[in-house]
Amino acid sequence: MRSLAKLLVGDRRNLAVVALAVLLAGALVASGHAALAALLFPLALLAGVGWLAAG
């Protein structure tokens, strides 16, 4: 079960990057700033990729 979760989700850092980016985008969409979400969501994910690659 644990290996299946790891297979789908990756490690904690990977999960944290995606969760934070999705939360940010979700909050922006919910507050009526969908256009800003379309801009910041990919930027947040790319920043996360940079953090994961550097770690």
Partner 1 sequence: MTAGSIFLASFLAAGVEWVEAFTIVLAVALGIGWRRAGGAALAALALLAALTAASGGVLGLWLDTVWLQAAIGALLLLFGVRWLAKAVARLAGRLPRHDEEVELARALSALERSERHAAWLVAFQGVLLEGLEVWLLVVALGFNEHRTLAAAAGALAALVVVAAAGALARAPLRRVPENAIKFTVGAMITAFGSFWTLEAMGGAGAWPWGEWSLPALAAFYLLGGLAVAAGLRRRAAATVEP
For 50, other C-beta atoms within 10 Å of its C-beta total 11
Say if CB 17 and CB 49 are below 8 A apart.
Answer: yes
Say if CB 20 and CB 44 are below 8 A apart.
Answer: yes
**Shorter beta-carbon distance to partner 1: residue 1 or 53:** 53
16-55 footprint of partner 1 as x/- string (CB under 8 A): -xx--xx--xx--x----xx-xx--xx--xx-xxx-xxx-
How many alpha carbons fall within 13 Å on the CB side of residue 29? Answer: 8
6 is an interface residue for partner 1 by CB under 8 A: yes
Q: Which residues bind partner 1 (CB under 8 A)?
A: 3, 6-10, 14-15, 17-18, 21-22, 25-26, 29, 34-35, 37-38, 41-42, 45-46, 48-50, 52-54
